A and B are shown apart, each in its own frame.
Chain A
């Protein structure tokens, strides 16, 4: 596999960029692997990549029922940050942000990380106190976070309405300057190419339909492309986690919900940070193509349909127009939904399951894009060694028995 560089660009320019090789192979599934990862989203691909790179385990397959990155990885609004409240979350999300900071170099693939800063707004006295508490907790964990006054917010985001006479006036906020966005597809493609280069088989159009077990141990998988024998399986299927758990005979504290997003017609650059409000339920950033990217919270009902209801969109846009009156005559171009795996404490589950050799990575809900490399890094460690890394030890399925929940609703409900 050739490295991408200025020289390869020039070389391929001579042939009109018509003969670039494929970035990864499309192999037939082998009858057996050391490890099989179910789910070819960012988390599954990152896991395979770090299994090969950090643990020397390259006899690995990633099975994806559709196309690579076609789940939430290709549907999310790409917000990246590490400003979570509790120590265990801060450590995990910060690890991921640090991996993101070196990812383009490491993968030799531009993931277009743009650390343009991420502003969270306060609209009530309660918001303000809560944000101050969070900023302090985040700083105590050595992560960058600052409080902002309305005037400072106005300076950063000139189009925002800070009038005190609106229903929910902006009375302050916080910023994580290292937060921002990245290109979601590039993350999936770069990780796929990196994993493939190290020998991992990425197999698309291959749905897992059964999990074979003997005496409480995993022995293999049934798939739409035949049976595959393996002693270790890592599940990273986001919205379908409960379906896979049911195949292995256990239940999860997960419910699958639609999460919607939309983009406007492209316009000139008008906003160069990410702005989010957990109180009026909207967040906004501007893509490199000029589209405004907006989202809000989940639809209330369970669904696997990858679409949601209009009231969520209406209330998100009402909030957007009050915060940014200049948006009022913009046309919205597309809206879509993904199915997110919502956990009762708004934190992920990464670790062992009741079945030996079966490992689980799920519950990222509305906020797992930012954790793609970190999640893969700790999950690869867990699968390779059979025990969690200290960074994911607290995120066990067992915490729902012990009661040691990690409540991140404040950091992860509307904010993704």
Chain B
């Protein structure tokens, strides 16, 4: 069970949120210039790390705003909450056990 700290509403039960999956996947500037493999990489391939995961959450049943979360996929511990559009935090432990 996750207790997620919405930047606007404070700590709330996981059931109030929707998970938007991996964060920081930038849409290619020129999609038509990509090969099929590059397009597939953008569309379907995921990091799916065992360790720290940067992901998007939306407070659907609250303020309905999106934000980024850094969370361990091993312990479920949330280590950082930061705004949409903010760069991924530099962290050596990304994806590490």
- Across the interface, do A402 and B36 meet the contact criterion of CB distance under 8 Å? yes
Question: By the criterion of a CB under 8 Å from any partner CB, how many residues of chain A are at the interface?
Answer: 24
Contact residues in B for A402 (Cβ distance below 8 Å):
36
Within 8 A of A (CB), among B19-73: 19, 21-22, 36-37, 39-41, 43-50, 53, 55, 71, 73
Interface string of A248-288 (1 = CB under 8 A from B): 00011111100000000000000000000000000000000
Q: Which residue of A lies closest to B19 (CB)?
A: A300
Task: Let me know if B2 is at the binding interface, CB within 8 A.
Answer: yes
Q: Which stretch (A6-14, A25-33, A61-69, A302-310) binds chain B? A: A302-310
Contact residues in B for A401 (Cβ distance below 8 Å):
36-37, 39-40
Are A311 and B14 also in contact (CB < 8 A) when A305-B74, A305-B76 are?
yes
Are A305 and B75 also in contact (CB < 8 A) when A311-B15, A401-B40 are?
yes
Contact residues in B for A251 (Cβ distance below 8 Å):
41, 45-47
Task: Let me know if A290 is at the binding interface, CB within 8 A.
Answer: no
* B residues apposed to A, CB below 8 Å: 1-2, 13-15, 18-19, 21-22, 36-37, 39-41, 43-50, 53, 55, 71, 73-76, 95
User: A400 CA to B37 CA in the complex, in Å?
Assistant: 8
Are A301 and B19 also in contact (CB < 8 A) when A310-B1, A402-B36 are?
yes
Task: Let me know if A344 is at the binding interface, CB within 8 A.
Answer: yes
Task: Let me know if A23 is at the binding interface, CB within 8 A.
Answer: no
Interface string of A234-255 (1 = CB under 8 A from B): 0000001011001000011111
- Across the interface, do A240 and B50 meet the contact criterion of CB distance under 8 Å? yes
User: A344 CA to B41 CA in the complex, in Å?
Assistant: 13
Of the listed residues A252, A301, A403, the one surrounded by the most CB atoms of chain B closer than 10 A to its CB is: A301
Q: Total A-B pairs in contact (CB under 8 Å)? A: 69
In order of increasing CB-CB distance, the 7 nearest A-B pairs are A253-B44, A242-B48, A251-B45, A300-B19, A401-B36, A311-B15, A400-B40
Contact residues in A for B71 (Cβ distance below 8 Å):
301
User: A402 CA to B47 CA in the complex, in Å?
Assistant: 21
Q: Closest Cβ of chain B: how far from A117's Cβ, in Å?
A: 34
User: A202 CA to B37 CA in the complex, in Å?
Assistant: 37
Q: Closest Cβ of chain B: how far from A330's Cβ, in Å?
A: 23
13 A–B contacts, CB within 8 A, in A order: A243-B50, A251-B45, A252-B46, A254-B48, A301-B2, A301-B55, A302-B21, A303-B76, A305-B73, A305-B76, A309-B1, A344-B44, A400-B44
- Across the interface, do B73 and A252 meet the contact criterion of CB distance under 8 Å? no
Contact residues in A for B55 (Cβ distance below 8 Å):
301-302
Contact residues in A for B37 (Cβ distance below 8 Å):
401
Are A253 and B76 also in contact (CB < 8 A) when A240-B50, A302-B55 are?
no
Q: Closest Cβ of chain B: how far from A403's Cβ, in Å?
A: 8
Contact residues in A for B41 (Cβ distance below 8 Å):
251
- Across the interface, do B50 and A253 meet the contact criterion of CB distance under 8 Å? no
User: A403 CA to B58 CA in the complex, in Å?
Assistant: 29
- Across the interface, do A309 and B14 meet the contact criterion of CB distance under 8 Å? yes
Contact residues in B for A254 (Cβ distance below 8 Å):
46, 48
Q: A252-B45, A301-B55 are in contact. List 6 more A-B contacts (CB 8 A).
A: A246-B95, A300-B19, A302-B55, A303-B76, A309-B2, A403-B36
